[in-house]
């Protein structure tokens, strides 16, 4: 299929976050990661569990297969069989994430949501991030408030920040000191461009190109999961 859009590449990059996840609760926040999780479930990861974002677990046919109110979500967080893809107002070099406040926490220049579940998520189970607008304001040297715990603050047996998917690239922390590494750039994006949009130097030794969606994935995405192309509004071509 032709005319593959940037948004579609972002969706499959998000789907790939769940490779090998098995019977795990996928908790994607936001449209692109949600489409990615659903796509993974329909292709390589049929055992994934998906919630409706409220209190139910749903099958791909949208029938209810389980009950998961917030109180039980916290049980899953502590139990650990979960991979969350959160948003981030800031992410830094070591994978710390901020959704709490910009500036001084006592008197922020910009109040955001608050810690939400980020501290518990990052200390208990695999966590990834989705950044729809990769820029130096988001990819910062050090976050103002550590909501999600990065590698230089990591403690305990279960910390696992997996990847950051952005509108430009896929990044991870698979370096000796767990500083952020450029894994792949999306087709049409240069390593230089990603570096220009990032406030700190990225490790960029073996950068590949983010894979294209398969025909099957495109078909599912375009006809089943997102026929109205809401994805293109979140990530313009």
Partner 1 sequence: MRDKRMTADEAVSGIKDGMTVGIGGWGSRRKPMALVKALLRTDVKDLVVVTYGGPDVGLLCAAGKVRKLVYGFVSLDSIPYDPWFKRVREAGGIEVLELDEGMFQTGLRAAAHRLPFLPIRAGLGSDVLKYAPEIKTIRSPYDDGEELVAMPALKLDVALVHLNRADRHGNAQYLGPDPYFDDLFCLAADRRYVSCERIVETFDGPPQTLLLNRMMVDGVVEAPGGAGFTSCVPDYPRDEKLQREYAEAAADLEKWPDFYERVLG
Site string for partner 1, 111-140 (x = CB under 8 A): xxxxxxxxxx-xxx----------------
Residue 147 C-beta: closest distance to partner 1, Å: 6
Collapsing DSSP to helix, strand or coil, 170 comes out as strand
Residues 92-111, interacting with partner 1 (CB under 8 A): 100-101, 105-111
The pair phi, psi for residue 92, each rounded to 5°, is: -115, 180
Binding piece for partner 1, criterion CB under 8 A, among 64-72, 164-172, 184-192, 203-211: 64-72
Helix spans in the chain (H): 6-16, 31-42, 70-79, 118-124, 191-196, 215-219, 230-234
Helices 31-42, 6-16: inter-axial angle, 10-degree rounding:
60
Residue 143 C-beta: closest distance to partner 1, Å: 9
Under 8 Å between Cβ of 82 and 76: yes
Strands (E), 112-180: 126-131, 139-140, 160-166, 169-172
Question: In this chain, which of 153, 178, 211, 222 binds partner 1, going by CB under 8 A?
Answer: 153
Does 156 help bind partner 1 (rule: CB under 8 A)? yes
Instruction: Return residues touching partner 1 (CB under 8 A).
Output: 54-56, 67, 69-71, 74, 77-78, 100-101, 105-120, 122-124, 145-149, 153-159
């Amino acid at each position: 299929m032709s005319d593959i859009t940037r948004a579609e590449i972002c969706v499959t990059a998000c789907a790939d976050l769940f490779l090998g996840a098995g019977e795990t609760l996928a908790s994607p926040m936001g449209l692109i990661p949600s489409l990615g999780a659903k796509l993974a479930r329909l292709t390589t990861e049929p055992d994934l569990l998906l919630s409706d974002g409220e209190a139910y677990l749903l099958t791909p046919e949208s029938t209810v297969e389980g009950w998961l109110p917030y109180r039980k979500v916290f049980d899953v967080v502590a139990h650990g069989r979960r991979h969350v893809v959160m948003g981030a107002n800031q992410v830094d070099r070591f994978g710390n994430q901020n959704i709490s406040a910009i500036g001084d926490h006592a008197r922020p220049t910009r109040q955001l949501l608050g810690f939400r579940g980020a501290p518990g998520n990052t200390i208990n189970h695999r966590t990834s991030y989705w950044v729809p607008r990769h820029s130096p304001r988001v990819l910062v040297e050090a976050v103002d408030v550590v909501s999600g715990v990065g590698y230089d603050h990591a403690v305990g047996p279960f910390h696992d920040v997996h990847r950051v998917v952005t509108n430009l690239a896929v990044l991870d922390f698979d370096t000796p000191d767990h500083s952020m590494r450029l894994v792949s750039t999306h087709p049409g994006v240069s390593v230089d461009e990603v570096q220009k949009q990032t406030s700190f130097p990225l490790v960029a030794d073996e950068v590949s190109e983010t894979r294209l969606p398969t025909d099957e994935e495109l078909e599912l995405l375009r006809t089943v999961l997102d026929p109205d192309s809401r994805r293109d509004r979140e990530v313009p071509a």
